[in-house]
């Protein structure tokens, strides 16, 4: 019988329509709900969001504006704790403002006497060492710290974090289930009737001269010429990834003479619907980390193109390595590796099945720890 209600604040990069980060949030919410039900308590999440109205509508939870200090402080004051995560929040590669912001949110909770939890974060890169003591000071006051790979744990070791013990767990999205009913909703293009193998493609802007996207287009054109496939572009971050996808599609040109098809799914903001799209692929070619995690979690071979060490770290956990990087990618190699994985998909699933099942199970460990902590505190 559920007898206790606990309010928990969730801080992260939410409300920006980034499918990967939204998938992290959905995964955390799902894990907390299921673990709290088993523990016999009720956990009420309150999400710090860039778009609270959208977040409330999407997930059915309370949300407050992440940049409103007054509302954030009130939410923390009325809570039983705060979760920071997951994703790559504490890094200064994209902006020097990210680390101070997320640490400040944690510090506000600690000043208010609330327990704080780090949920499967990917640490770094932290190029400015001035941030090291700041991160160490905040993390040492956390009740629980988990990171999504050994490299993140090693970085915290470099910062000389003494306590708490850092737990290495998979990315939360490994535990994200398919939507109930598993039906596609208004994704823009129906899956082809010819039952061609679907090759999912997740691209993003990275190289300023677009050499990476040009090489990807070259590889896809070679693949479509050698093998009849359905090239299905899946933009994870709207609208930027839609524009990057269209650029690659333009570079591909008209490939109808090859018997292959090209389409794009550019209207999906629900992470579980995007997960369903990926699950129906025979292969996933991805630049976005969570496109590769989506794929592996549902036994779709991932073929990663690396722009960040986090891509390499995840692929190594499922017995793979990048086909190339944004700085060095060969179109012929991309085509060859794609055909190899299409031909050997069953062998890949057999070889990686046990590792994937373990990752999916371990993805729930942070939620279990947090719910058990809240239950013990009454």
Residue 338 and residue 295 in contact, taking contact as beta carbons nearer than 8 Å: no
Of 94 and 121, the structure prediction assigns the larger pLDDT to: 121
Rg (CA), the chain: 21
Cis peptide leading into residue 239 (ω within 30°): yes
The answer, yes or no, to whether residue 242 has pLDDT greater than 60, is: yes
What integer pLDDT is reported at residue 4 of this predicted model? Answer: 66
The CATH superfamily holding the domain 4-169+363-376 is Glycogen Phosphorylase B; (3.40.50.2000)
What integer pLDDT is reported at residue 266 of this predicted model? Answer: 86
- Ranking 19-28, 180-189, 253-262, 274-283 by mean pLDDT, the lowest is 180-189
The answer, yes or no, to whether residue 1 has pLDDT greater than 80, is: no
- 135 Cβ contact list (under 8 Å, min separation 6): 90, 99, 103, 126, 156, 159, 161
Average pLDDT score over residue span 167-191: 74
| Alpha carbons 231 and 227: distance in angstroms, whole number | 11
The helix (H) or strand (E) run that includes residue 104 is helix 98-111
Distances 26 to 110, 121, 207, 265 between C-alpha atoms, Å: 25, 15, 30, 20
At 88, list the tokens.
């790559």
Average pLDDT score over residue span 60-72: 97
The answer, yes or no, to whether residue 270 has pLDDT greater than 80, is: yes
| Alpha carbons 150 and 172: distance in angstroms, whole number | 15
The answer, yes or no, to whether residue 189 has pLDDT greater than 80, is: no
Domain ranges of the chain: 4-169+363-376, 198-359
pTM above 0.75, yes or no: yes
Map residue 45 onto helix, strand or coil: strand
| Alpha carbons 355 and 161: distance in angstroms, whole number | 29
Residue 318 and residue 308 in contact, taking contact as beta carbons nearer than 8 Å: no
pLDDT band at 186 (very low <50, low <70, confident <90, very high): very low
The answer, yes or no, to whether residue 32 has pLDDT greater than 60, is: yes
**CA-wise closest residue to 84 among 51, 47, 137:** 47
pLDDT band at 183 (very low <50, low <70, confident <90, very high): low
| Alpha carbons 89 and 104: distance in angstroms, whole number | 12
Mean pLDDT of the chain: 93
At 187, list the tokens.
């994704």
User: Measured in whole angstroms, how far is the alpha carbon of residue 285 from the centre of its chain?
Assistant: 15
Fold category of 198-359 in CATH = Rossmann fold (3.40.50)
Indicate the DSSP class of residue 18: B
> Are the folds of 4-169+363-376 and 198-359 the same?
yes
């Amino acid at each position: 019988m559920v007898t206790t209600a606990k309010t928990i604040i969730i801080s992260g990069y939410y409300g920006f329509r980034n499918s990967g980060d939204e998938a992290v949030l959905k995964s955390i919410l799902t894990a907390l709900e299921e673990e709290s039900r088993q523990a016999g308590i009720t956990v009420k999440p309150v999400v710090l969001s860039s778009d609270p109205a959208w977040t409330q509508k999407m997930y059915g939870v309370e949300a407050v504006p992440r940049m409103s200090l007054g509302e954030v402080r009130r939410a923390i004051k009325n809570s039983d704790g705060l979760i920071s995560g997951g994703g790559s929040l504490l890094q200064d590669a994209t902006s020097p403002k990210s680390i101070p912001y997320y640490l400040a949110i944690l510090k506000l909770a600690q000043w208010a006497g609330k327990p704080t939890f780090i949920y499967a974060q990917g640490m770094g890169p932290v190029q400015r060492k001035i941030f090291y003591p700041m991160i160490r000071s905040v993390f040492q006051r956390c009740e629980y710290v988990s990171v999504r790979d050994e490299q993140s744990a090693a970085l915290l070791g470099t910062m000389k974090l003494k306590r708490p013990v850092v737990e290495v767990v998979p990315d939360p999205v490994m535990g994200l289930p398919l939507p109930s009913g598993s039906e596609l909703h208004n994704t823009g293009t129906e899956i082809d009737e010819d039952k061609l193998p679907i090759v999912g493609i997740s691209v993003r802007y990275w190289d300023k001269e677009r050499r990476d996207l040009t090489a990807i287009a070259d590889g896809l054109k070679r693949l479509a010429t050698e093998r009849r496939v359905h090239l299905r572009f899946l933009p994870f971050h709207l609208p930027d990834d839609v524009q990057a996808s269209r650029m690659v599609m333009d570079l591909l040109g008209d490939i109808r003479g090859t018997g292959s098809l090209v389409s794009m799914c550019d209207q999906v903001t629900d992470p579980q619907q995007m997960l369903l799209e990926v699950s129906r692929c025979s292969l996933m070619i991805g630049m976005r980390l969570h496109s590769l995690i989506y794929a592996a979690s549902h036994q779709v071979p991932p073929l990663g193109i690396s722009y960040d060490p986090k891509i390499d770290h995840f692929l190594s956990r499922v017995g793979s390595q990048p086909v190339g990087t944004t700085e060095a990618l060969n179109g012929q190699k991309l085509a060859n590796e794609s055909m190899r994985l299409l031909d050997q998909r069953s062998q890949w699933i057999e070889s990686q099945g046990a590792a994937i099942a373990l990752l999916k199970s371990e993805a729930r460990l942070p939620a279990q720890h947090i719910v058990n902590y809240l239950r013990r505190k009454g």
